[in-house]
Amino acid sequence: MSLRLLLPEDGVTELMLTWPDEPRVFERGMAALDETVTAETIRGYVYRGCVPADEIAVVQAPNPSMSQKAYTTDGRTDRAKLARLYESGHTIRLGNLQRVIPALAQISQDIQTETGYSNYIHAFLTPPGHQGLRHHWDQQMAVIVQISGTKRWQLWRPPVEAPMREYNESWRVWREDYIPTWEAAGPDVEVDLKAGQSLLLPRGWVHNPHVLDSDEHSIHLTFAIRERTPLWLAEKLVASAIDNPDFRRILRPGQLSGVGLGQQLAEARVALIRHLQGLDLSEVAVGVHEAALTELEYST
């Protein structure tokens, strides 16, 4: 199981059986992943310009991500510019490495086979004594795998309930008093994540990661695992309605406002209930299971 490349046996068991809603640190040790994806491997992808520019973000707190023009030449990743930005204190994020590193592509596929959840893999390189992203929360469970150095993770309990997709996404519902309030209270959990350790970071938990040591470079991988939800199942149940021509008929412009719209909504609801009640769930389940193992788009 590829999860065993990220976590020890007890961590895999906890993830698969309970799907924790509290952060946990596990001693990973030197797994096969650490032999395949080393600090030198990741630096090589940066300094040889192997990652497409669209998959790169460069940021130094408290500023937003830089424009692509800062690290590209003629639209292509410029390794010399990236190196200079890193040396000046910027964090470099290499996105979706499962698309460019065959070994990580296999791990990503295997994780989806094990869990039914799609996922993606980012790498973060932070120079000594600096910080990239500031306080924010994410929409899915993350397994943070520290490859080299140490990074401090300040964590706060979720300020919103069960974020998913665009719903309760941190930048969409952000309040100006969030950071002052969190910093005044102090973190609920603080972790100094070291090489050979992994952090389970449940969705919605606020995190403020940074490198304290003025001499130590930090590299970590984030395996973001997009949980399936009842809404995802509902979408699968509804999707087959397109096979019924009644659901494909034209709604005229006049039926999209006023009394006409209310009537169309009522008729569609009745038709949808009838459609759902007529489904053979054992047959639908076959397709849903296949989708869980193959769909790569955002599904949390």
pLDDT over 70 (residue 289) = yes
Which tens digit of pLDDT belongs to each residue from 96-145?
A: 999 989 999 999 999 999 999 999 999 999 999 999 999 999 999 999 99
pTM confidence score = 0.92
Q: For residue 34, what pLDDT band results from cuts at 50, 70 and 90?
A: confident
- Report the distance separating Cα 23 and Cα 157, nearest Å: 10
- Report the distance separating Cα 288 and Cα 189, nearest Å: 37
Which tens digit of pLDDT belongs to each residue from 200-223?
A: 999 999 999 999 988 899 999 999
Mutual angle of helices 79-87 and 39-47, in 10-degree steps: 120
Provide the strand spans (E) within 115-247.
Answer: 118-126, 141-148, 150-156, 189-194, 197-201, 206-210, 218-226
Which among 192, 227, 241 is positioned nearest to 298, based on CA atoms?
227
In the chain, where the domains are located: 3-227, 231-294
Q: What is the pLDDT of residue 49?
A: 85
Contact 189, 105 (CB under 8 A): no
Contact 181, 187 (CB under 8 A): no
pLDDT over 80 (residue 300) = no
Which tens digit of pLDDT belongs to each residue from 225-257?
A: 999 999 999 999 999 999 999 999 999 999 999
Q: Considering the domain 3-227 in this protein, what is its CATH number?
A: 2.60.120.650
Kind plus residue range of the DSSP H or E element containing 107: helix 102-115
Q: Nearest 5°: phi and psi at 164?
A: -155, 145
Contact 263, 251 (CB under 8 A): no
| Mean pLDDT for all residues in the chain | 93
Q: Nearest 5°: phi and psi at 98?
A: -65, -10
Residue at token pair 């809603």 = 21
- Report the distance separating Cα 292 and Cα 107, nearest Å: 16
